[in-house]
Chains A and B, each alone.
Chain A
Amino acid sequence: MRERAQIETIIRNIEKVMIGKKDIAELAVVALLAQGHVLLEDVPGVGKTMMVRALAKSIGADFKRIQFTPDLLPSDVLGVSIYNPKEMEFEFRPGPIMGNIVLADEINRTSPKTQSALLEGMEEASVTIDGVTMPIPRPFFVMATQNPIEHEGTYPLPEAQLDRFLLKLKMGYPHPSEEIEVLNRLEHASPIDTLVPVISLEELIELQKKVKQVTVDETIKSYIVELSNRTRQDTYIYLGVSPRASIALMRASQGLALLHGRDYVNPDDIQYLMPYVFGHRVILRPEARYDGISSEEVLARIVKRTPVPIKRKISQ
């Protein structure tokens, strides 16, 4: 399949600079294909920025970076209209959000006001400034990073806003042997500079359209809904996932299926993506914390207990 080959080249390109993080690269590409955004939660210095840059370079996209600080204003993100005395009118100066690939670094360090400005832009894929709505160019992909919330000086993202991210990923530290490989590669030069685009933006948009054509069988849809439902009934979960989460899971699994060269979604896709899609969308009860149970464990238990559909439904 042509699509699969194209996607593979993107991932291979990213792997040139990111060592031992193929799964994260794949998931990032899945989010890109499914037109979603990714929240990367990890300590600084594990290669979050490098990954986004590699992704942007691979698709020849316009890469913007916003470093969030507590004093950042919404206009610093969205852009601002400045009066041009020569032309006698306001002129819009687009902010960093008006790019194809945007890295929103340390999003939880800024004030909620600025956070919501970004998140609204992400959701609507357009910005409204002074009553004028401006679409953000396609493809539009935001990868936000945040430090683990326990760190000091952070404004935790509200749950409603977390919902806007398709996937939440964790990079994790590289394996020692991989870390040595990182050092080896960076000893004399930075490989990121040598990366060249492997597909065009048009091709990427084409791929994004293909994702929507991936078949999701009725059995799979009911499986997704069943999983969502069970998060709403689980004893450890205070707030289950929203229908938006169901849509997100379906879209993401369509992307993953395409990545695997399949034109249909299977239960493995769902099971694989479910923790990344649902993980940041459920709120655990305090009991879970007392029992030392993480949301990953709760979700894994739900997956284990939900029967996988293995038969056609009798006509309904």
Chain B
Amino acid sequence: MSNKVQQTIISILIYSFVFILMMEWLKPVIELTSTGFLSLFGWYLVISFLFYLIKLKWVYAFPVKLVFICWVIIHIYTDLSFLSIEALKFIWGMFVGNIASLISQDWVQATDPFRTFLFFILLWMTTYLLNYWIRVRKNLMLFFLFTVLFITILDTFSPYSGEKSIVTVLISGFLILGLLYAQKMLSGHEKIHGAFIVASIGSLLSIIVISSALAYVLPKAGPSWPDPVPFLLSTSPNADNREDGKGVGGGIQKVGYGENDERLGGAFASDDTPVFYATSPTKQYWKIETKDMYTSKGWVNSATEPPSLSNYGLGEPIQSDIAPGTEGESLIARIYMSQPYPFIMQPYGIERVDSMEPISLKMNERNQKLYTFNGDNEVPVGTYEVTYNEPIYSLKALRDTAPANLEGLSSEFDRYLQLPETLPSRVKDLATSITADTDNLYDKAKAIERYFRLNGFSYNQDLAAVPEGDTDYVDQFLFDTKVGYCDNFSTSMVVLLRSEGIPARWVKGFAPGDVVERDNGVPVYEVTNNNAHSWVEAYFPGTGWMTFEPTIGFTNAVNLNYDIDNEKDELETPENTPKETPEKPQAEKDKKEVSKGFTEIMSSFAKWISNNKAPILWTLLGLVLLSMLAYRYRRKWLSKVLIPVSRMRKNDWDTFEKMYHQLLKQLDAYGMKREQGQTLSAYAKYVDSGFGETHMRKLTDAYEKGLYGNNREGINYESMRESWEYLINQLSG
């Protein structure tokens, strides 16, 4: 095999594996944004890499790629035939309309086709960069590392499961690194035997294949670390009292939807039995019912009057107290129940329910539960379709609701402001302090929602306490345990909202679940008992009910219309929430224990290490990463260190010599290489020609005088220092 053929084969392999790596980037992006059409983006990558592989001139590659992008946009967003005039008009219109909004920095106005176009441009740049790394730098380590990081971070912090992709990524990553090295050898001037290349690539392949196969077949121990996010949060000092809660009360419960919420708390065992499957174009929270009366231990329905039921037939518009949105088209979710529940899983903005089954619907106006009936009997429903249109809230209107607006509320809302008599006053004080810096109701609610994320609370299903005796469930969570699951967070938020006079209710239902497959491009979510969830609805006069998600680790983005003025847009700045620091008896305890013996300290230190292995490892990993970054970008900050450090030294020859060599090093790192046979003065001339001054010449003259002429007294070190600092600053500028 000639060298050229070998190089081509290696190139093909490299580009194929890079394609696989890129696909691992695309997959989660497509999934998490529920974009669909992964294959079209994949084909785009194929085309791009193919062109780079055959080194197609850009004059040919550019139009082809552009046409492909346009075709994809037409294909996804319209029914037009690609070669029609209308299609051309559509593309033209897209550019004209969106470029105007781009110029006015009106990002939200950008239409979906244009966003898709921008995403393609991003892909284009990425592939270009990858090609540069492959062809010119012949090094893809950075990209590989980032891919691994990306997948692991997504896997840890998002619903995306990177189990399979991490394997693909690692295998293809190592292969690419090996292949690039082989290519480097081939393109080097050294003559290499073809057999050597074949053997080395062959052995590389077989090592990776054998080790992956072995790894796959061999039994694997379970993870020795808990999932890092909740674990890290739970090891924070605020979660100290968690031991108290464990095992107290009703033992370990099974997670899932249940009717009785009178006594909340206690550990949960996870249960991944599917409850239903939802084919839904959007990620939805599935609401079942709300509860309005907090008993200091849990939730019940206030039953002062009999429930008022309104009847709906299939297909009839349902009057919910949260009106559906009016913008855009209504969407349809199809629900396949696996558990026999006699009620409807309601997405927000529900409009109507359809089903082939002979059922009718009854809505309990008091708790918004939508029962399914056959005649007069509650019957479980199997399959049904829910039409919905997610409500959109005007941020301006929300921000305009002052606390004064609450005064005109009718007595209907009294039950949403109910609080138990026994609620400790410190809960109310906390609510006041959290919302102190805000002036409108929406920002108050947001401040409360954010409070948990910023103040050392953590999510854990096993460590949630059960309040005993007179202990209030919310009070215990807010001030003592600070660890729990959705019920703790949502109940606490409702109580805090009510303390501030904002009507609020506790919502039960299911979180969106995980995408398990796709039905004609529409994701199918599997919702299991583990997804049983509770969250919060708050009422704002003028706007109505709106959801909030205080639970750490969950997000439920409400559609907001950002129709506010720009200068008021400080929604996301968290400074507004005052940090409540509960008293720490721990600190005093520590003080008493200062006079311990040395061995005791050592043993407690060892114990501390063994107890905190995971956080220590994570910290170390972070430090390593930080130092790598610091090293990579050392030019940016080195001058800030070098100059003050050098200023602390005396003005003498030794310092000057050190400084001069430091400068040579920095120049070298900057890219101004000195040949080994180049004299300092010749180099100085070169350096000065780069910076347009004569500082290097001046320094070098003085240095040479001192080094070769042994004349070290006559040097004006003060002025040398000025030139040196000038150059060092130039280098890091």
Contact = CB atoms under 8 A, between A and B. Distances in A.
A264 B679 contact: no
A229 to B, nearest CB: 15
B708 A308 contact: no
**Max chain B Cβ within 10 angstroms of own Cβ: one of A217, A267, A268, A311:** A267
Residue among B680, B682, B705, B708 with the highest chain A CB neighbour number at 10 A? B708
Contacts of A217: 707-710
Given A215-B708, A219-B707, A267 B680 contact: yes
Contact of B679 (A215, A262, A268, A312): A268
A217 to B, nearest CB: 5
Interface string A282-306: 0000000000000000000001111
B680 A310 contact: yes
Contacts of A215: 708-710
Given A268-B681, A268-B682, A311-B661, A305 B708 contact: no
A310 B677 contact: no
B704 interface: yes
B677 A306 contact: yes
A264 B676 contact: no
A220 interface: yes
A271 interface: yes
Interface string B689-711: 00000000000000011011111
A163 B611 CA distance: 81
B677 A264 contact: no
Nearest to B678: A308
B709 A308 contact: no
A262 B677 contact: no
B706 to A, nearest CB: 9
Contacts of B682: 268
A305 B676 contact: yes
B711 A305 contact: no
A205 to B, nearest CB: 25
Contacts of A305: 676-677
B709 A271 contact: no
Interface centre among B657, B678, B707 (most CB of A within 10 A): B707
A310 B707 contact: yes
Contacts of B657: 311-312
Contacts of A307: 676-677
Interface in A55-112: none
A3 interface: no
Interface residues of A, number: 21
Interface in A207-230: 215, 217, 219-220
Nearest to B709: A264
Interface residues of B, number: 18
Q: Tell which of A217, A266, A311 has the most Cβ of chain B within 10 Å.
A: A266
A309 to B, nearest CB: 8
A267 B679 contact: yes
Contact of B708 (A264, A271, A303, A306): A264
A249 interface: no
A54 B471 CA distance: 113
Contacts of B678: 308
A224 to B, nearest CB: 12
B190 interface: no
A271 B676 CA distance: 13
Given A215-B710, A217-B710, A311-B661, A264 B680 contact: no
B575 interface: no
A265 interface: yes
A263 interface: yes
A266 B704 contact: yes
Interface in B89-104: none
Nearest to A262: B709
Nearest to A267: B679
B679 A308 contact: yes
Nearest to B677: A304
A268 B680 CA distance: 8
B661 A264 contact: no
Contacts of B664: 310
B705 to A, nearest CB: 7
B686 to A, nearest CB: 13
Given A268-B682, A311-B661, A220 B677 contact: no
Which 8 interchain pairs have the tightest Cβ spacing?
A: A264-B709, A304-B677, A307-B676, A267-B679, A217-B708, A268-B679, A266-B708, A264-B708
23 contacts: A215-B709, A215-B710, A217-B707, A263-B711, A264-B708, A264-B710, A265-B708, A266-B679, A266-B681, A266-B708, A268-B679, A268-B681, A268-B682, A271-B677, A303-B677, A304-B677, A305-B676, A305-B677, A306-B676, A307-B676, A308-B680, A310-B664, A311-B657
